[in-house]
Amino acid sequence: MSSATPITYLFVPANRPERFGKALAAGADVVIIDLEDAVAIDEKESARSSLSDWLDSDSAENKSIALRINSADSIWHAADLALCGHARVAAVVLPKAASVDEVARVVAAGARTVIPLIESAAGFVQAGVLAAAPSVSRLMFGSIDFCVDLGIEGDDRELDYFRSQLVLASTLAGIAAPVDGVTTAINDEQVLQSDTLRGKRFGFGGKLCIHPKQIVVVRAAYLPSAAEVAWAQRVVAAATAAHGGAVAVDGKMVDRPVILKAERILQQAELSA
């Protein structure tokens, strides 16, 4: 995993071990090996067994991955928990998360970090509690399943309120900004960029990816542009020269919140360098 807060999370099916190496080499900040939606029911057991063997092999040496297990209400959940404490599993994604008890069971199984995936009305109303639970590093928004659960048609303004509330819950809990859901349009960069920038505007800090080609677009959308970095440098330089006095940059007054925003942009740019 990246030392900075991850931006890109790439899914790879747990029943396709021949893809693990390619996924890890694709450049995502985090690779999520998926035991849940990506694996057919009749392959659940074999996928878990193959994944366990891979984690113990030289192929996984010095690799840190995230693992999406099956939900707490599934018949595969208990067996999946046995992998949560593996030394090479850096984080566990908990699908259909709806209670702190579910998080606690994953932690008790040895998970170092838990990322609740908010995919239902039940999970959404508990978002603040889940965000504040021990060992939770951030929330994820499973927007597709969420829409199905609530009968929502569309993934744009229909979800504005819910996205805002997940950002609010994360901020109040003092954890990293949440991760936005997937964009299913694999070959449409314009749609992907639009979706990613929308999440960024709402305060999200990253996005789930379902194909390696999405990684570059998502990362570029979240990282500061050259123009943003140049603006931030002007603001910080002007504020430093003013020694706490009033100052204007580009014809606009600069106050403490603007300076903090500029400093954050420069920090992001430095971490991405």
Where in the chain does DSSP place strands (E)? 8-13, 30-34, 65-68, 89-94, 114-118, 140-141, 179-180, 206-209, 247-249, 252-254
Residue with tokens 């970090």: 113
Residue 264: what pLDDT? 85
Question: Which residues of the chain have a pLDDT value below 50?
Answer: 1-3
Of 224, 222, 223, 221, the closest CA to residue 232 belongs to: 224
**How far is it, in rounded angstroms, from Cα 260 to Cα 159?**
29
**CATH code given to domain 8-222:** 3.20.20.60
Residue 64: what pLDDT? 74
CATH 3.20.20.60-classified regions of the chain: 8-222
Say what the alpha-carbon torsion angle 46, 51, 56, 57 is, to the nearest 10 degrees: 100
Contact status, residue 49 vs residue 84, Cβ threshold 8 Å: no
Residue 3: what pLDDT? 45
Burial of 113 (0-12, 13-18, 19+ CB in 10 A): middle
User: How many C-beta atoms lie closer than 10 Å to residue 209's C-beta?
Assistant: 29
Structure tokens at 178: 């949440």
Contact status, residue 82 vs residue 116, Cβ threshold 8 Å: no
Residue 62: what pLDDT? 60
**How far is it, in rounded angstroms, from Cα 98 to Cα 116?**
8
Residue 163: what pLDDT? 98
| CB contact set of 240 (below 8 Å; sequence gap of 6+) | none
List for the chain the helix, strand, coil content (%; round to 5): 50, 15, 35
Of 22, 28, 21, 31, the closest CA to residue 7 belongs to: 28
